Chains A and B, each alone.
Chain A
């Protein structure tokens, strides 16, 4: 409400006073006091300090406020004009109360608008503060977690085994005899002739079969070690191995499982291709190619134009392995598969050099948030 409107309304009040059947003294007192109050009320429009509003309330509506005091006129008035005095005094008080409430509300609105204005922030600005930074897992952990949860969804449990391992579990029980070239010191880190850093997570397979009974459905992710170091090899790297042992398990089932995995891990339309290969602990053995995650099979730099990425080794568990690990190869069959997590991460994120995964520079690590 503008002050002009206020004054217009006040004029009506003055006319009511003028017309009221009360004494002239009372009229004068009411008129004089009202005129003083209305000036102050109008002045509130320019106030910015809430204390001015509070002071106004105390001065006029407090216990001994001058508008409060006016009500005493009613008591003092002669009996015959008591009613009329009451009407005019209460009228004027109600008027001011109403006007003040209005003014107070306007003040609050002005005050709020001013505060909002003052508190304005450039919301596009960012503050760099270490304590508010979020870290990140490294890509190997991310890929491992993804793969593990896909297989967990298919009923696979997670198992683990030692990284420093007996050759028995790393070789013998996996059908890799003493004179096999894979046991050459050039291909493994030995601690002594019977103990080495495991070269494959497959040793966990052997341990699992020795320790548990079919049906078995496990994956074992972990670190493995081989003496190679270049853009696609690291002397320490990660593999995840899967093993299924049950009745009537076939190579066709392996394809079904890996197809499911590939579709979850890469995309719904990923295709799976088998190529014959050799691993001592599986027979038949296959290399498993997935249609290229980057080009979808059309051929690109990542897949070297072939449309396929070689990602897993797999096969039907060799009955000789079952026999050595105490599982009845007449009754049970199984399949196993393994893949390199570095390779999976490199394919998934387009990382060109495996050594970057071990670089530990924040500028690399922070890319995987």
Chain B
């Protein structure tokens, strides 16, 4: 919201208070001042000057030499030979800065010293609308009543300061100069005065003879309020109006249209003006548009309406898209003599939806979209008729037409000073509360320690004592809260659930394993399903889709972490990082049914781990997971499996308690290529919810054996397709687990050294130990024999 100080001054006398002070005070009471804009700052050192005499340049035919009076006597050489003594012109002195940024220097022009130069309108950032002649590309000759020797910005009243103020969503009343003025009055302690052109609307019912109102959609239009002026003369607006509109980025058009825009800025009430002659049947009908009803709006484009859109119609057709834009054929024309001012209240979501569905936005629709109070319609109409009458542009017609089915009820909030203290925690004296609320135009009375505040129509945001407390404290000052105070309350222990604690434990482990934690978006591209080679019927393709994503690449909620991790790996590969380990624990979203109805999708936490580099292979990546499971005391089972995006013979599925909890392996080269990766990369996904839930704490101390262990290595020859897992479990089954404390494979090789094709050599280390005695050789030999027999019989494995 742009607020020129001069405009503000129409309502509150802020003389003697600097714009910076006003800004600080507004910030202190809840209005963020984003910028203080000095409109005159890009043109400096330009003063008004009267030309005293003109003579020919001694050395150049096309130049003239002017002796001038500004804030002193100067000489200026110019080629504007039409200038004559007595003309008042802008004079850029030595060192002056123009709108373009050019700095003027005095200097000799063909042998005659010129103290500066005369400027045109463009150099001063003026247009024809500001000063007549400013649009022409020559020296601007100013009106004869312009004071001489003063800064041109001041002389032309361009020296305004504009505050750019952010308005919070609750303060819909502050989206206008008037609303801000109320705050400034309260916060500076000065009086709020209403300009004289807020007239009382003339009573009577002359308007009823020419016009009636039918509101068929009170749910979308809570008030349709209109007044009429007649004998209207369409003309240009006075300079101050044009300037104020221009400063807000609005284009001056004619006095009547300018009035509607001026009120939008001053009151915050969007207005519309119709030429009465276009209101066929003398009837304004507020209704939902018919399907495919068409209107050509003021922007010259045709819009097709639907019952979703509210239209302001005459007896036959739509004249305006309610709150958004008027129709081209129903506005104000040069020959208009009877004008109907609309000052309506449209529901914000209705205007918002219409604006969006038509792709048409206007100052009016933007204002309505924020919401409008039920007070501004009257103020807008008073001002509109008042401006016409005061400027002598026409006559007011007695009476108004008004559809206002549910007038705002009178609202009073009652409270005590201690109610306020219970909210704030500090005590604000009663007299302070009283004066603050009254200064905010919230009429408040105090009797017997009880306050009663009558809530004015423009403060629909105030509903209860908490709102009153806020009004009080934002004026009383938030710096009234002491520092270093204590909080009292029930004794509560801050707790972290087991899952939360384990999540942190997993992350720490992964960091210790050399992995960096990534951060990836939860929404991914639907192309990822093909990039991962998922089959057409894959459940992973059943993803939640956003209605309004930032783009297709961010349009579906991920059902696995694979895509996100592969993208992160690709980033590192493409940027030539030689190796990396990455991990993330984030949610995937698994809908039970699609589309979503009354059931939210299951949100599952997944641990994803990705790696590449010279030191990585399947086993190095798997080792990280094995160590993690060990750390969490979760026993798992790895078995060969296939997944569409993974290497067919280098992928292990991980299960625990008989359920699948993830996978680990090498990414298939086809998938890697889809991500622009030309290296072997490794990927694992594990159900983090499972890990967090079933991770076990340390429990049950075991006494260690005091007897020595016996280690034996066996070199076995087996079919190459016999998995390590089978060999190990066969050994465990065969041996007394009390005595066989550990069994591991420490070497596997295949090749020429083995006499038979299709065989591999597996070196197994067995560790035996008893808790009760030192094992003797014979015992160990017997145990090994038993193992060998079992290996032979169940898997055909022989000693090498």
Contact = CB atoms under 8 A, between A and B. Distances in A.
Interface string A180-205: 11101100011110010100000000
Contacts, number: 262
Nearest to B589: A164
B349 A274 contact: no
A331 B677 CA distance: 61
Contacts of B467: 283
B579 interface: yes
Contact of A179 (B28, B348, B491, B580): B348
A192 B484 CA distance: 47
Contact of B568 (A278, A283, A284, A360): A360
A60 to B, nearest CB: 37
A256 B487 contact: yes
B470 A285 contact: yes
Contact of B424 (A191, A252, A259, A365): A252
B399 interface: no
Contacts of A274: 478-479, 481
A57 interface: no
Interface in A157-185: 157-158, 160, 162-166, 178-182, 184-185
Nearest to B581: A135
A259 B171 contact: no
B515 A135 contact: yes
B494 A151 contact: yes
Interface string A111-132: 0000000000000000001111
B426 interface: yes
A97 interface: no
Interface residues of A, number: 89
A283 to B, nearest CB: 4
Interface stretch (B326-334, B503-511, B726-734): B503-511
A135 B513 contact: yes
Contacts of A156: 492, 494
B488 interface: yes
B274 to A, nearest CB: 27
Contacts of B620: 131
Contact of A135 (B168, B347, B481, B517): B517
A235 interface: yes
Contacts of B440: none
Contact of A361 (B474, B548, B577, B603): B577
A309 interface: no
Given A179-B349, A277-B168, A358 B547 contact: no
B100 to A, nearest CB: 28
B494 A130 contact: no
Contact of A227 (B493, B550, B601): B550
Interface string B493-504: 111110010001
Contacts of A264: none
B168 A316 contact: no
A36 interface: no
Contacts of A185: 356, 547-548
A215 B492 CA distance: 8
Contact of A284 (B27, B469, B493, B513): B469
B569 to A, nearest CB: 9
A154 B513 CA distance: 32
Nearest to B547: A190
A136 B517 contact: yes
Interface stretch (A82-90, A102-110, A242-250): A242-250
A275 interface: yes
Interface stretch (A2-10, A38-46, A137-145, A293-301): A137-145
Interface string B410-439: 000000000001111110000000000000
B519 A283 contact: no
Contact of A190 (B30, B546, B557): B546
A235 B550 contact: yes
Interface in A322-369: 333, 357-363, 365-366
A223 B544 CA distance: 17
A359 B567 CA distance: 10
Contacts of A192: 547, 595-596
B545 A191 contact: yes
A179 B600 contact: no
Contacts of B589: 163-164
B252 interface: no
B195 interface: no
Contacts of B421: 250
A210 interface: no
A136 B520 contact: no
Contact of A181 (B370, B487, B507): B370
B506 to A, nearest CB: 11
Interface in B543-578: 544-550, 554, 557, 567-568, 571-572, 575, 577
Given A227-B550, A276-B470, 18 more contacts: A135-B510, A135-B581, A158-B494, A162-B603, A182-B169, A195-B596, A223-B586, A225-B522, A250-B423, A252-B424, A274-B478, A274-B479, A276-B28, A284-B466, A284-B473, A284-B474, A285-B470, A365-B516
23 contacts: A130-B581, A131-B615, A134-B514, A135-B514, A135-B517, A145-B504, A155-B491, A155-B494, A157-B493, A157-B494, A160-B500, A164-B544, A181-B352, A223-B522, A250-B422, A252-B482, A252-B485, A255-B481, A273-B478, A274-B478, A274-B479, A275-B478, A362-B516
The 3 closest A-B pairs by CB, nearest first: A252-B425, A250-B425, A276-B30
